[in-house]
Amino acid sequence: MTIPVLISLAVLALAVGLFVFRAIPGIRAYFNYRGKRLITCPETHKAEAVDVAAGEAAVGGFLSEPTLRLRECSRWPERQDCGQECLQQIEIDPVNCLVWNIVAKWYEEKSCSFCHKPIGPLRHLDHAPAVLGPDFKTAEWREFRPERLPDVFSTHQPVCWNCHVAETFRRLHPGLVVDRAVEPKRTM
């Protein structure tokens, strides 16, 4: 290998290294800020659901110019021209305001109101657990608008997915369900 080729390779490696070095804060910003979050709106003092423009935050991280802006808010389009002061809450604690983390924390160490089995940790690929409302109807937590979840969690009870399916069937087809008492095990 000739010296000019070696120099070219060294320059290329340096350029790639520099690019990766600059890209890391951008990639980190993207993963830090993606996802639906709940904040307390400084105007209404109520929970609202927002999305940060994670792509822009990533570009800002790459250019070493942190840029945080909302991409979506449950008060839009009516209040699309607000000052986005709620972003401070996200900057202070980007993890605990993620809807997924709020939901996971609520189900943590809770048991199903019907079968009393632990709900277990929330997983993206599993069936979503549900809640039992004051009207005795069950619904998956994903069926609620995210900004309603704090209220839902204060008035509803946790229900596992299996019991939610069984209770929904029982509610929709009461004539098809026969409740049988569990027979005790025969020992002889």
What residues line the site for Zn ion (CB under 5 A)?
112, 114-115, 160, 163
CA–CA distance, 150 with 39 (Å, rounded to integer): 11
In angstroms, the CA 39 to CA 149 distance is: 12
Using the minimum distance from each CB to Zn ion, give the nearer residue, 172 or 188. Answer: 172
Q: Beta 157-159 vs 138-140: how paired, if at all?
A: unpaired
CB atoms within 10 A of CB 109: 9
* Nearest of 35, 111, 37 to residue 74 by alpha carbon: 37
Nearest distance, CB of residue 132 and Zn ion, angstroms = 10
Cβ nearer to Zn ion, comparing 41 with 160: 160
What's the closest the beta carbon of residue 160 comes to Zn ion, in angstroms? Answer: 3
Distances (CA, A) of 178 to 5, 55, 71, 169, 173: 81, 53, 50, 12, 11
Smallest distance from Zn ion to CB 170, Å:
13
Q: Is the CB of 76 or the CB of 114 nearer to Zn ion?
A: 114
In terms of CB distance, is 6 or 115 closer to Zn ion?
A: 115
By CB neighbour count within 10 A (0-12 exposed, 13-18 middle, 19+ buried), where does 75 fall? middle
Q: Which is nearer to Zn ion, 27 or 115 (CB)?
A: 115
CB of 71 to Zn ion, least distance (A): 37
Compute the least distance from the CB of residue 180 to Zn ion, in Å.
Answer: 18
Encoding tokens for residue 21?
A: 């070095």
Count helices and strands in the chain by DSSP H and E runs: 6, 6
Question: CA 70, CA 124: separation in Å to the nearest integer?
Answer: 24
